[in-house]
């Protein structure tokens, strides 16, 4: 039923919310808890290397790693995950979005499933690893 709703919603926040419900029902960890953060245009993570806080801000559909919401101009865009490198949970969510025409949301998720460079220490890390 939740999967059917993916076809009905249009607003990107609604799409992400329905996808999060699907993630909960299918146990696509950790996205049953984390996907809605993308809907808020900001994902806060902790650098696995230096433990400083990093804010991933969504700017014109691009996720940018920054030291804070005011530092977006100095931020560095994240590297989108190659679709072939996705884990089963991530691949499921991207495929489901694309199947229902939500290519914009799929692109945002590919960035969330990708790699970011810490603005504090310069280390590249997998964003998924920083969420857990
Ligand atoms: Zn760092």
Most distant CA pair in the chain, distance: 44
Distance CA 109, CA 78 (A): 11
Distance CA 87, CA 43 (A): 20
Task: Calculate the average pLDDT of the chain.
Answer: 93
Q: How far is CA 80 from CA 31, 85, 86, 115, in A?
A: 17, 10, 11, 7
Distance CA 24, CA 57 (A): 24
- 67, 119 contact by CB (below 8 A): yes
Predicted confidence band of residue 132 (pLDDT cuts 50, 70, 90): low
pLDDT of residue 89: 96
What is the tens place of the pLDDT at every residue in 36-72?
Answer: 889 988 999 999 999 999 999 999 889 999 998 888 8
Residue 47 Cα, ligand 1 centroid: separation in angstroms? 5
- Residue with the bigger pLDDT between 88 and 131: it is 88
Mean per-residue pLDDT, 88-92: 97
pLDDT of residue 74: 87
Residue 68 Cα, ligand 1 centroid: separation in angstroms? 13
Pairing of strands 76-77, 53-59: unpaired
pLDDT of residue 126: 96
Residue 1 has pLDDT above 80, yes or no: no
Mean per-residue pLDDT, 107-131: 96
Residue 99 Cα, ligand 1 centroid: separation in angstroms? 36
């Amino acid at each position: 039923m939740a999967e059917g709703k993916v076809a009905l919603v249009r607003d990107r926040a609604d799409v992400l919310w329905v996808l999060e419900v699907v993630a909960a029902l299918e146990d696509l960890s950790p996205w049953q808890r984390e996907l809605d953060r993308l809907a808020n245009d900001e994902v806060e993570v902790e650098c696995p290397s230096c433990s400083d806080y990093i804010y991933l801000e969504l700017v014109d559909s691009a996720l940018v790693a920054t030291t804070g919401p005011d530092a977006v101009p100095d931020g560095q865009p994240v590297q989108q995950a190659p679709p072939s490198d996705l884990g089963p949970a991530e691949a499921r969510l991207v495929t489901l979005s694309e199947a229902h025409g939500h290519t914009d949301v799929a692109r945002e998720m590919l960035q969330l499933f990708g790699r970011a460079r810490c603005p504090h220490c310069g280390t590249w890390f997998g964003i998924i690893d920083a969420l857990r």
